[in-house]
Amino acid sequence: MESAPPDDVFRDHAGVQKQKQEGYFYVGASVLRGRLTPEQMHSAADLAQRYGSGELRTTVMQNLLIVNVPQANTELLVKELDAIGLKVAGSPFWRGAIACSGSEFCKLALTETKSYARWLVQELDDRFPGFDQHLKLHVTGCPNSCGQHWIADIASKARRLRSTAKCMMLTTSAWAALWGSINPSRAQSAIAAWPQKFRERFRAYCSST
């Protein structure tokens, strides 16, 4: 018996998705960098009470779910989540981004990660507004890799450079044979090449299967 492909090709629980319970949906909002303000958290809790069962859940992709939402409430809920900065229909860069705590809250981290991840997503959104492929964009602040850079399509990992004893964010690709590491001085040009390289590799993979 062949299994059907999942309805949600992104597999990240973002968007409006059907639950097993008839007539109920869950609404997943993409939380950029996995960071919520107190105001957003209070507002999300209020929306869960008003439009769902009062229950909030988090995901491994650092996203936020409001569950048990009647179908009639989904449209209003999406609008109110967007209004507080929690995008339900974010870009592939926005919804695919993950960042570890970074040096702001972690003594093991070599550098800051959260602001860098926001800048990276905004830069990619500005450069490629029509990009429509699913990808994982992970940022990790040290070799311990809580940001799981090794499973990302595009990843940045902080490393200490021996020549200068400074900490810098080096960009790497999951396609190590194609790119390997990218020096920070080439980051701008590398960013411009990422989406096209991703499409080429994705098409090649699909053709080989």
Average pLDDT over residues 160-169: 58
Residues 195 and 115 in one domain: yes
Please report the pLDDT score of residue 147 as a whole number.
81
Query: By residue range, what is the domain housing residue 78?
Result: 15-89
Cα–Cα dist 127/52, whole Å: 37
Q: Is residue 166 situated within a structural domain? A: yes
Total count of domains within the chain: 2
pLDDT band at 177 (very low <50, low <70, confident <90, very high): very low
Kindly tell me if the per-residue pLDDT of 56 is higher than 70: yes
Q: Which of 44, 60, 89 is the last residue of a domain?
A: 89
Please report the pLDDT score of residue 82 as a whole number.
94
* Of 140 and 75, the one with more pLDDT: 75
pLDDT band at 176 (very low <50, low <70, confident <90, very high): very low
Kindly tell me if the per-residue pLDDT of 193 is higher than 70: no
Please report the pLDDT score of residue 154 as a whole number.
80
pLDDT (tens digit, 9 = 90+) per residue, 57-74? Answer: 998 888 899 999 999 999
pLDDT (tens digit, 9 = 90+) per residue, 11-28? Answer: 678 889 999 999 999 999
Please report the pLDDT score of residue 182 as a whole number.
45
Residues 72 and 120 in one domain: no
Q: Mean pLDDT across the chain, nearest whole number?
A: 78
Residues 116 and 42 in one domain: no
Kindly tell me if the per-residue pLDDT of 181 is higher than 60: no
Label residue 20 exposed, middle or buried (CB < 10 Å: 0-12, 13-18, 19+).
exposed
Average pLDDT over residues 173-185: 41
Kindly tell me if the per-residue pLDDT of 165 is higher than 70: no
- pTM given for the model: 0.71
Give me the CATH number covering residue 106.
Answer: 3.30.413.10
Give me the CATH number covering residue 69.
Answer: 3.30.70.3340
| Contact (CB, 8 A) for 91 and 41 | no
CA distances (Å), 200 to each of 125, 134, 151, 195, 204, in order? Answer: 19, 13, 19, 9, 6
Q: Is residue 3 situated within a structural domain? A: no
Please report the pLDDT score of residue 152 as a whole number.
81
Cα–Cα dist 131/26, whole Å: 26
* Of 42 and 141, the one with more pLDDT: 42
Q: Which of 89, 117, 140 is the last residue of a domain?
A: 89
Residues 108 and 34 in one domain: no
Average pLDDT over residues 167-184: 44
Residues 31 and 64 in one domain: yes
